[in-house]
Amino acid sequence: MYEFNYQNPASVDAALAAHQDADDGLFLAGGQTIVTVMKQRLAMPSDVIDLNGIEDLRGITTRDSVISIGSMTTHADVAANADVRRLIPALSDLAGMIGDPHVRNRGTLGGSIANNDPAADYPAAVVALGATVHTNQRQIDAGDFFTNLFETALEEGELITKVDFPGPEKASYEKIHNPASRFAIVGAFIAKFRDGVRVAVTGAGPCVFRLSEIEDALNADFQAAALDGITVSSDRLNSDLHASAQYRAQMITVAARRAVTKAGQGDRT
């Protein structure tokens, strides 16, 4: 790992100031991606600004049917939280499926979505649930947040503070995972709200995306059979040593069908 200055601020303001003063500052959240990237010398920040000491960025609160999750809340804490379990069990399930127990004990919501790995799980929940990403300077709608491969709407030095997730009538997340990394080869998050269904797919493309054809079918009839005959084009989908674009295209409908079936069984209307 290259050398860097380590900073451990206790507040959001101190973290922002440290980033502003640095030549090339890097916010360190759970570190489950970025520490690996740094040790492989694929990143060379001048200053690593550790967010783990900022208590204000941790924790889960509930107001009406909206769950607010602090950006530095770990996957393990989201998976185990009773309010998340009650209001959005699919989000709890998703957090419990990320990586492995060690990763879930360190990895955070904010770190995951800021990194926007094409195979990460959280982006699917953020988009399908129509979440709102709060930063130190503004609120960003889920639909505007994830812009491209490893790219987001975040500006240099902008820090995610929390994400608000509205509770759906029904929701479910299903993924076909890579057995070595547990990243999604394809993951589908389906959320049904009073005003309609949103379907977000991760792992398959350069960035999380919605599938209007599947949403339309489920808006007409919220059951797996409604997806009969729907095929997804493999154009612009990822192809790598784990799976071809054609395989991913087919797995999107498989994951979506499983998710709809599971959401229907939940009957949490």
Partner 1 sequence: MPVVSLTINGTSVVKDVAANTLLVQFIRDELGLTGTHVGCDTSQCGACAIHVNDMPVKSCTMLAVQADGCKITTIEGLAPDDNLHPMQQAFHEHHGLQCGFCTPGMVMTAVAFAKDNPDATEQQVRRALEGNLCRCTGYQNIIDAVLDGAKAMREAG
List interacting residues with partner 1 (CB under 8 A): 1-6, 8, 31-32, 35-36, 38-40, 48, 50, 52, 76, 99-103, 105-106, 180-182
Q: Is 178 exposed, middle or buried (0-12, 13-18, 19+ CB in 10 A)?
A: middle
How far apart, in Å, are the Cα atoms of 29 and each of 39, 196, 252?
16, 34, 30
From the CB of 8, what's the least distance to partner 1, in Å?
Answer: 8
* Spatial separation of the C-alpha atoms in residues 89 and 173, rounded to whole Å: 10
5 or 231: CB nearest partner 1: 5
Q: Measured in whole angstroms, how far is the alpha carbon of residue 99 from the centre of its chain?
A: 13
CB of 4 to partner 1, least distance (A): 6
By beta-carbon proximity to partner 1, the closer residue of 110 and 130 is: 110
* Range list of β-strands (E), 159-247: 160-166, 170-177, 184-193, 196-202, 209-210
Smaller CB separation from partner 1, 3 or 235: 3
CB of 127 to partner 1, least distance (A): 26
Q: Which is nearer to partner 1, 6 or 13 (CB)?
A: 6
Cβ partners under 8 Å of residue 98, min gap 6: 75, 104, 107, 112, 120, 121, 122, 182
Q: How far is the CB of 26 from partner 1 (least distance, A)?
A: 12
Helices (H), 9-133: 12-21, 34-39, 75-80, 82-87, 89-97, 101-106, 109-115, 122-128
Amino acid symbol at 136:
N
Q: How far is the CB of 101 from partner 1 (least distance, A)?
A: 6
Q: How far is the CB of 120 from partner 1 (least distance, A)?
A: 15
Q: Which is nearer to partner 1, 40 or 269 (CB)?
A: 40
DSSP for residue 108:
B
In the complex with partner 1, which residue's Cβ is closer, 9 or 166?
9
Other CB atoms within a 10 A radius of the CB of residue 111 amount to 25
Distance CA 94, CA 112 (A): 13
CB of 229 to partner 1, least distance (A): 35
Closer of 101 and 229 to partner 1 (Cβ): 101
Side chain identity at residue 11, one-letter code: S
